[in-house]
Amino acid sequence: ADERFRGGAHERVLLHSPLAFDATTYELWVPLLGGGTVVAAPGDGVDEVTLRALVREHGLTAMWLTAGLFRVLAQETPDCFAGLREIWTGGDVVPAAAVRRVLAACPGLRVVDGYGPTETTTFATSHPMAEVVPDRIPIGRPLAGMRARVLDRSLRPVPPGVPGELYLAGAGLARGYRGRPGLTADRFVADPAGPPGERMYRTGDVVRWTAEGTLEFLGRADDQVKLRGFRVEPGEVEAVLARHPEVAQAAVVVREDQPGVKQLVAYVVSEADASVLRAFLAGVLPDYLVPSAFVALDRFPVSANGKVDRRALPAPAAGVAEHVEPATDTERALAAIWAEVLGTDRVGAEDSFFALGGDSLKSLHIAAKASALFAVRVTPADVLTARTITGLAGTVEELILGELESLASDHEA
């Protein structure tokens, strides 16, 4: 294992990522190969309450979080990482403000921006931060055994400060894609600076070397984006959606109508209900590739050259037939939280969490705010299961009642 995983910070690492997510290779093998321990998270996910308990009861020392989840926890409860020695985060741009909040609240902690595609066995570069946090966090330097090359279109090295595409080579490089020789040949190319037969992986990421010798991420060379820590190519989702017999035309884009909050949005020319299309995609694609919002249009806007004008596609609106005002203080308080997190003007008591653009990351945001407001533990699973303000209000009131009954029993005892 790389020397960056030595020194005791990774003695007890949290296992909580889905098995389909390549971060599990870090969560399993980094501690085990170093004689450490894997601490398995409970099945209902990780929130700040669970995290504090894992540190306290199991001596957790390190963990991985996607940049999106890290940002939410940093905003709501930055001190929930107290007791950890290292947090590795990445999968998307890591916000400098979030890192600063966490480091200020957790003395002795180190936050590491870990970068690497699955094709290089999870991590290829890293940038640790304990005190100084730059406004634009670099993806760092290569790990031991890895080589990073920044090349132009002719595969020639570019000088520091000049953007180029990042190519990775060395230990951990995959052999290719099973059953997809064309894609393998496109992505795994000969390394002109390596020994005979050596290959390198074309990441599609545009980077540049800084004067300090670190790599700075600038963007993508194609349409691929990161969403909730997963790689998403909207064109692939679009192709599946277009196969539905009731869809005449489809377009899928990643929108960021709120700063830092991305969502996958599908636009269709179709008479089919959004729930039907969502179920169709869910039967074929993993959860993170199912759009959180569907927008039906009579026709797509087109540019002067006749292509779909994706910039002119409208922002998704709440797809509810009738607005029902929240009726109780609990419902009104929860509606205000939902409106803030989901970025909408108003939320009705029966509005669907998913129709409003909700996803697992936003459920964590809502759960944290509701827990703080009502002084009970509301979990992301509660939000996802309730689906509406009415349903979640019932859950919250049951939790409050249970807390009061527990206090009464303790008092009588």
Whether residue 107 is found in the same domain as residue 48: yes
* Domain of residue 232, CATH code: 3.30.300.30
301 located within any domain: no
pLDDT of residue 320: 47
Whether residue 44 is found in the same domain as residue 104: yes
316 located within any domain: no
318 located within any domain: no
pLDDT of residue 259: 66
Q: Mark which of 75, 103, 136 sits at the end of a domain.
A: 136
Give me the number of domains the chain comprises. 4
pLDDT of residue 52: 92
Q: What are phi and psi of 306, to 5 degrees?
A: 85, 5
The token pair at 45 is 């996910």
91 located within any domain: yes
CA 403 – CA 102 distance, rounded (Å):
30
- Contact between residue 58 and residue 83 where contact means Cβ atoms under 8 Å apart: no
Query: What's the DSSP call for residue 32?
Result: H
End-to-end C-alpha distance for the chain, whole angstroms: 54
The residue to which tokens 């790689």 are assigned: 231
Whether residue 5 is found in the same domain as residue 97: yes
Whether residue 50 is found in the same domain as residue 103: yes
Which range marks the domain in which residue 123 is found? Answer: 1-136
Burial (0-12, 13-18, 19+ Cβ within 10 Å), 190: exposed
| Long-range CB contacts for residues 218-222, cutoff 8 Å, separation at least 24 | 218/163, 221/165
248 located within any domain: yes
The residue to which tokens 């007890």 are assigned: 12
Whether residue 95 is found in the same domain as residue 213: no
Whether residue 115 is found in the same domain as residue 194: no
129 located within any domain: yes
Category of 91 on φ-ψ map: left (φ > 0), alpha (ψ -120 to 50) or beta: left
The residue to which tokens 């029966």 are assigned: 350
pLDDT of residue 357: 75
310 located within any domain: no
* Domain of residue 7, CATH code: 3.40.50.980
* Domain of residue 362, CATH code: 1.10.1200.10
Q: Mark which of 108, 136, 164 sits at the end of a domain.
A: 136
Whether residue 174 is found in the same domain as residue 189: yes
Whether residue 259 is found in the same domain as residue 381: no
Q: Mark which of 222, 246, 274 sits at the end of a domain.
A: 222
- pLDDT by position in tens, the chain (length 413): 578 888 889 999 999 988 878 889 999 999 999 999 999 998 767 888 889 999 999 999 999 998 888 988 998 899 999 999 999 999 888 889 899 999 999 999 999 999 999 999 889 999 999 989 998 899 999 999 999 999 999 999 999 999 999 999 998 899 999 999 999 999 999 998 888 889 999 999 999 999 999 999 988 787 667 776 677 778 888 889 988 999 988 999 888 876 666 788 999 999 999 889 988 998 888 877 888 889 999 988 877 666 788 888 998 875 444 678 999 999 999 999 999 998 888 899 988 887 787 877 888 889 999 999 999 999 888 998 888 999 999 999 999 998 888 887 777 76
Distances from the Cα of 128 to the Cαs of 33, 137, 248, 269, in angstroms?
A: 21, 10, 49, 47
Q: Where are the alpha helices (DSSP H) in 215-267?
A: 234-241
pLDDT of residue 306: 65
Closest CA to 98 of 120, 127, 68: 68
The residue type at 67: A
Whether residue 115 is found in the same domain as residue 166: no
Whether residue 3 is found in the same domain as residue 127: yes
Whether residue 262 is found in the same domain as residue 205: no
Reported residue count of the chain is 413
* Domain of residue 200, CATH code: 2.30.38.10
